[in-house]
Structure formats: structure tokens, C-alpha cells
Amino acid sequence: MGKEHGKAPRIVFVGAGAMGSYIGARIAQSGLEVTLIDPWKEHIETIRRTGVQLCGTEGESSVRVTALRVEEIGELAKRPVDLAFIAVKSYDTAWAAELIRPYLAPEGFVVSLQNGINEPTIAGIVGAHRTLGCIASTMGVALRSPGKVERTYRPGRDAYTVFRVGELDGRLTPRLESVVAMLRSIDSAEVTTDLPGERWAKLTANSMHNGLAAVTGMGHLQIYSEVETRWLAIRLGAEAVRVGRRLGLHLHPVRGIPADDLEAAGYGDRAALERVERAIGGGMGRLTESLRPSTAQDAMKGRRTEIDYINGAVCAKAAEVGVDVPCQHAIVELVKRMERGALLPARENISGI
């Protein structure tokens, strides 16, 4: 990672929502220099006064972090940025990449820390040689109020790798190792040489419950505890795995579930379904009552969701390779109706899918 005059690297988070604030604060807690950038004035001003207040499954702490409003970003010109995490919603990716590009150091680079597959968009703006991807799987964070972030998923540690970081071309590089080392101060992290495959596994997982939680009003724990919603989640996952297979991607496990089993289970293989049910059961201990996926959080707050970049992305790729994904299409349509204010969250919304 590039450093100027022997100083520690300057790390910036473009987007200080739940994910950016939580991970940025935890990295700052480890002793590194972090700056959070966000348009929400009240949030930034609160962080300046009292720091980022962390709570949830890892206890409570207060972390002092430099915070800037978007209109103050010119201050970064005083000292260029070595590493910029983009942690905005997928639909804001291009805007965020354009925002940070002029402030990157000569060897500075950008890491997508987002849902969806946004590395191509970022690479088109800052250059492929300056673009990395980071999958944060089962992180589970929520911005409860200005300056206050709750982690709602129990840590993965040795049982589950939360962060996977990769170069676009699959190379193993010193900067890749530096990002992984940084993230290990937060939770388990590893290098991946197959970013596209890992991204699809994360997209598959998100497509199983993000939209489903939004339209039913249920959280992870309830979705996977009840037969009807768990079965729909499995069918959604099976459709996404089948699309990934047709795309020629390497199929990685989906939150610990072998991809072959998930696909087979969703298309009627009873033995595979039993194995998938056991795998789901094995991960239930990390779930909490307050855990809600980001799409459900956005829907509850009346905000635009990332459904086009999750289930919608599966639908788009399915059309390209000729795979029928009726469950994915149904979830997209239901979430779109919620965004228009034509539908309220209720379990009955999924009847008939």
C-alpha cells in the first residue's frame, strides 16, 4: 500500500452508512488513520462530537474517527488517499468512484465493500489496476441513529470467513494482503483468487433473503426458522446457483451450503434438501432477533432498495444465459411494489410464489 514520506496509509470510506461506519471505526480502533465521508450532515456532526458509538454482538465502545461531509472532500487534497473503500449503495457506485478519483495517491486504490457486483463500474472510472473487491458475508450491521451502529450478526471468527478480498485478475499482491491483514482486526478474512465466483456466492445468498425479508417484514432468524419462508429462500438460492453455473462461474459454498446441494434441493432433490437444512441449522447460532438484511432496513425506512442489484441482477444474468428464474422475478416485483407504496410488508405477500 502506498505511503507518503513514511506516514501510515490514509484510509477513506466513501459512504458512512452502517457498513462504512462500522468497519471504518473498527479499523480506526486498531490504530490506523481513517476518514469517513458521507452526505448526512447530522451523522457526520455527531461522529465529530462523540465518535462512532458501536454496540451489538461485540459489546459497546466509542471510537474517534475523522469525518467529513461530502462538500468538504476537498480537504483530502492536502494529503492524497492510499486506500478508499466504497461503501455506498450500488446505485451510487459511479458517483462515489468519481468523487474519490481525484484524491487518490499515485499508488492509491479503491475497494468495493458493497452488495452487488460493482467492480466493473469502479474500474471503468478509476482504472482496473486500481480496483479491488471485498465481500463482507454475514456482517450484519444497522445504523440505529446518527453516529450509532449495531452489529447484529455474531462474529464468524474461526467458524466462518466473513471477509474475502480479491484482485480483479486473481493475482496475489502485497496490497491485497495488506487489506486482508487490516480486516482481520475486525473478523476473519482471507484472500480470494476468484473474485467473480465469490461475488456470485454472496449475490446468491443476498438473493435468498434480502428481498424476502423486505416483503414479509421478517428477519433472518424467522425466515430460516419457518418452513415456508426457508423453502422459498432455498428455491431462490437454487435459481441463482443455476444461473451462475450457466455463466461458467466456479460455484463456491453459499454461507456454508455447498452450491451443488443448494441447486439440487431447490429443484426437488430430497436428500440434498436434508443436507441443506442441516447446513442452515448449523449457522443459526450466529443469528439474532434484531438481524435484518439491508434491503429490509431500507424498505422499513421508505428508501430506495438495492433490489435491482441483487435479485434484479440475477434476473438480468438469467435472461442472458436462458435460465428461468420465476422466484427471483416474483421477489423483484414485490419489492418494487413496496417502493411505490403499493404494498406493505406481510407474510401473505409471498403466497403463491
Q: What is the pLDDT of residues 91-111, one digit of tens each?
A: 999 999 999 999 999 999 999
Q: Which of 23, 7, 22 is nearest to 165 (CA)?
A: 23
When pLDDT is cut at 50, 70 and 90, the band that residue 311 belongs to is very high
What's residue 1's pLDDT? 61
Contact 82/105 with Cβ under 8 angstroms?
yes
Contact 287/153 with Cβ under 8 angstroms?
yes
Tell me which residue has cell 424467522. 222
pLDDT at 326 over 60: yes
Contact 72/41 with Cβ under 8 angstroms?
no
pLDDT at 2 over 60: no
300: three-class secondary structure by DSSP: helix
When pLDDT is cut at 50, 70 and 90, the band that residue 5 belongs to is very low
Distance between CA atoms of residues 251 and 245, nearest Å: 7
Q: Domains in the chain, start-ordered, CATH in brackets?
A: 10-193 (3.40.50.720), 198-350 (1.10.1040.10)
Distance between CA atoms of residues 121 and 112, nearest Å: 10
**18-56 tens-digit pLDDT:** 999 999 999 999 999 999 999 999 999 999 999 999 999
What's residue 3's pLDDT? 52
Distance between CA atoms of residues 212 and 243, nearest Å: 19
What is the average per-residue pLDDT within 221-249?
A: 97
HSE of 254 in the Cβ direction (CA atoms, 13 Å)?
29
What's residue 6's pLDDT? 53
When pLDDT is cut at 50, 70 and 90, the band that residue 116 belongs to is very high
When pLDDT is cut at 50, 70 and 90, the band that residue 290 belongs to is confident
pLDDT at 203 over 80: yes
What is the average per-residue pLDDT within 145-166?
A: 95
Q: CA triplet 35, 41, 44: central angle to 5 degrees?
A: 30
What is the average per-residue pLDDT within 4-29?
A: 90
Phi, psi of 232 (to 5 degrees): -65, -40
pLDDT at 242 over 80: yes
CA dihedral 336→339→343→345, nearest 10 degrees, is: 100
What's residue 289's pLDDT? 87
Distance between CA atoms of residues 183 and 189, nearest Å: 6
Contact 86/97 with Cβ under 8 angstroms?
yes
**53-72 tens-digit pLDDT:** 999 999 999 999 999 999 99
pLDDT at 239 over 50: yes
> Average per-residue pLDDT in the chain?
96
Percent of the chain with pLDDT over 90: 94
Phi, psi of 4 (to 5 degrees): -100, 125
